[in-house]
């Protein structure tokens, strides 16, 4: 089991999105960088980013230079979203997920983000969400 958002988990997530042919096809015309900060986790605060660049998708630890969209949330909310127990939309409406940057780009790419979530689906079974 890989601890959620650990360096090992982020490497496995990166491999999963890089190897997903459906995601590559969905992102063929997309250039978008998403940064997420999760606060209060078992290993402290954690920032990582997802880069979509014309069919190449990557996930890497640390902040992004020039993120188009930023998210910030607490550990419990991030875990609930990652496990599928809560949607990002519900967390946003409840004020537990903060959004920065180009919200229009987020709305325009909702299908792409759903495909990204699907690509990470198999990793959930190998993830320790307790930290």
The string of pLDDT tens digits covering residues 33-58 is 999 999 999 999 999 999 999 999 99
Give per-residue burial for 75-114: e unless 16+ CB within 10 Å, then b. bebbbbbbeeebebeebbeeebbeeebeeeebeebeebbe
The domains located in the chain, with CATH, are 2-119 (3.30.1050.10)
Neighbouring residues of 71: CB distance < 8 A, sequence distance ≥ 6 = 34, 35, 36, 37, 88, 97, 98, 99, 100
Per-residue pLDDT at 9: 98
Per-residue pLDDT at 106: 86
Per-residue pLDDT at 68: 96
pLDDT in tens, 103-127: 899 889 988 988 999 999 999 999 9
Enumerate the H helices of the chain as residue ranges. Answer: 7-18, 21-26, 75-83, 88-93, 103-108, 110-124
Cα angle, residue 75 at apex, residues 73 and 89 outer, rounded to 5°: 45
């Amino acid at each position: 089991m890989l601890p959620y958002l650990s360096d090992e988990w982020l490497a496995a997530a990166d491999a999963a999105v890089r190897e997903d042919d459906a995601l590559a096809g969905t992102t063929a015309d997309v250039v978008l960088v998403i940064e997420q900060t999760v606060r209060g986790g078992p290993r402290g605060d954690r920032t990582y980013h997802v880069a979509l660049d014309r069919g190449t998708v990557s996930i890497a630890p640390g902040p992004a230079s020039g993120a188009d969209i930023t998210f910030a949330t607490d550990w419990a909310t991030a875990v609930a979203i990652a496990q599928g127990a809560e949607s990002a939309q519900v967390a946003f409406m409840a004020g537990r997920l903060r959004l920065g940057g180009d919200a229009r780009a987020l709305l325009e790419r909702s299908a792409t983000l759903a495909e990204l979530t699907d690509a990470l689906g198999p990793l959930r079974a190998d993830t320790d969400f307790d930290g």
